[in-house]
Amino acid sequence: MFSPPLFWLVAGVCLCLIEFFLPQLWSKKAKFIPLMMGVSALIVSLILWRAGITLGFIWQYIMYDGFNLQILYWMGLSLSLVIWIRPMFFRSKNYQVRDATEAITLTEILPGKTGRVLYEGSSWQAICENYEVTILPHQKVYVLRIEGNTLIVAPENLFRS
């Protein structure tokens, strides 16, 4: 016998699998929407299963009489997840500097190691983009990007020909 929790469980798993097996086909605007719909179907399945155990439902009646209400819950949960949870997947971890801006080294930056630079009036931890270059103190460098709290820099002499 096909029960509503089983129906929503199968629907949720199928929607989640669609997201995982076809991610390259979605545009950025549509990413994670099938996943959110699948997760909400799994939540509806869990709610129906727990309610059935607690209240002793007869599934034949629930599948046909209450199915519109189940669809409404699923759509509401899907919309809520898409609005509030989905944006968390798109947060950028790296901050890109608009243009290469200048900084002055305060300490020596050894190859593959970090040093300190003076950037926009503050001392920042910095590492050279080229791991084979040593940058001496009081040299002008260009800030290429920011990763976390570390500046990725390149010495000025690399840009001069």
User: For 82-122, how does the pLDDT look when each residue is reduced to its tens digit (9 = 90+)?
Assistant: 888 877 776 655 555 556 589 999 999 999 899 999 998 88
User: What tokens appear for 112 in the block?
Assistant: 């593959």
Ranges of each domain in the chain: 4-90, 94-158
pLDDT single digits (tens) 26-76: 666 777 888 899 999 999 999 888 887 777 776 656 666 678 888 999 999
DSSP state string for the chain: ---HHHHHHHHHHHHHHHHHHSGGGS-GGGTTHHHHHHHHHHHHHHHHHHHHHHHT--HHHHHHHSHHHHHHHHHHHHHHHHHHTGGGGG--SEEPPSS-EEEEESS-B-TTSEEEEEETTEEEEEEESSTT--B-TT-EEEEEEEETTEEEEEEGGGT--
The pLDDT of residue 138 is above 90 = yes
Q: How far apart are the first and last CA of the chain?
A: 77
Which CATH code fits 94-158? 2.40.50.140
Q: How confident is the model at residue 19 (pLDDT cuts 50, 70, 90)?
A: confident
